[in-house]
Structure 1
Amino acid sequence: MVLLASCGSDNQGPGIPNVPVSEQINVNSQLYTRLRQDGGYVYLNSGYKGIIVVRQNANLYLAFERACPYDPTASAPCGQVEADQSNLFMVDTCCGSQFNFQGGVMAGPAVYGLRQYRTALNGSLLSIFN
């Protein structure tokens, strides 16, 4: 049995409510085919404004809150990040803030990175939690 874990980040913006997150997905499920290749991502309807799960490699998955740290209380679709059409970064299309797939700020006005949730991979089951 192999258990791999990833920790959350302390460099998160104020104003994003701390909601309980406890999800488990099977990364081999037909629902998550995009997670079968490095750089693939899926959206989950959990967290405050949703979660984006990104596959870094076969053993490492990162999970981020989709609420933009610049204005997390803005009404959707504002204040919510999504993968850019290029699939090279994530963006809040309203404020223009851009984030890399490790959650870091690439372009403002946001100054804080995305809130990262903890992940643990046990076989093909990925747990996402805070």
Structure 2
Amino acid sequence: MRNKLLLLPLLAILAGACSKNSSNSPIIPNVPVNTQLNINSQLYPELRQDGGYAYLLEGYKGIIVVRQNASSYLAFERTCTYDPGNDCLLEVDQSRLYITDPCCGSQFNLQGQVIGGPAISALRQYRTSLVASTLYISN
């Protein structure tokens, strides 16, 4: 009986710790995305080097485009998976090593995977396709 009484508070703590990312938590709205950009444009000088990035206005709160290498680009929603309803936009850290949410402190690597903070889900990723110097982004 004593073991059961000790187990109840532990279960309550664990349930509370997961509440933000449970099925009852807010969901990032699915906004249609179908855009393109010229990776050689003067508007996106950062996309000319590996680890470079650009912010776009499309998506729910915007999109972060990250250059992996000359032929590979990733695109992520600028909304944290921990609390999509907050007013913050995800940002690439000045070190260019990770993406961060200035509100909750969650951190994601440049492939969109969680590396720190309260978030437990990877960033929403959009499809990318590079044809010559045009990057197509869609969902």
Shorter chain as denominator, the TM-score bin is 0.7 to 0.9
**Equivalent residues in 2 for 1:45-64, closer than 5 Å:** 45-64=57-76
Residue 122 of structure 2 corresponds to residue 113 of structure 1: yes
TM-score (norm 2): 0.80
The answer to which of 80-89 and 50-59 deviates more is 80-89
Q: Aligned AA for 1:32?
A: Y
Residues 1:119 and 1:59: Cα distance change in structure 2 (over 3 Å): same
**Equivalent residues in 2 for 1:1-130, closer than 5 Å:** 15-75=27-87, 78=88, 80-130=89-139
Residues 49-103 of structure 1 show CA distances to partners (whole Å, capped at 9, x for unaligned) of 100000000000000001000000112xx2x210112221110011000000000
CA–CA distance in structure 1, aligned partners of residues 60 and 137 of structure 2: 14
TM-score (norm 1): 0.85
SS at 1:127 equivalent = strand
The structure with the largest alpha-carbon Rg is 2
* Greater relative CO (CA pairs within 8 A, separation 6+): 1
Q: Is there any run of 5+ residues in structure 1 with no aligned partner, and where?
A: 1-12
Residues 4-44 of structure 1 show CA distances to partners (whole Å, capped at 9, x for unaligned) of xxxxxxxxx96000000011000011111110000000000
CA offset at residue 108 of structure 1? 2.0
CA–CA distance in structure 2, aligned partners of residues 83 and 121 of structure 1: 22
Residues 82-127 of structure 1 show CA distances to partners (whole Å, capped at 9, x for unaligned) of 0112221110011000000000000020000100000000000000
Q: Aligned AA for 1:26?
A: N
Poorly superposed stretches of 4+, deviation over 6 Å:
none
Percent of aligned positions with the same letter in both sequences? 66
Q: Is there any run of 5+ residues in structure 2 with no aligned partner, and where?
A: 1-24
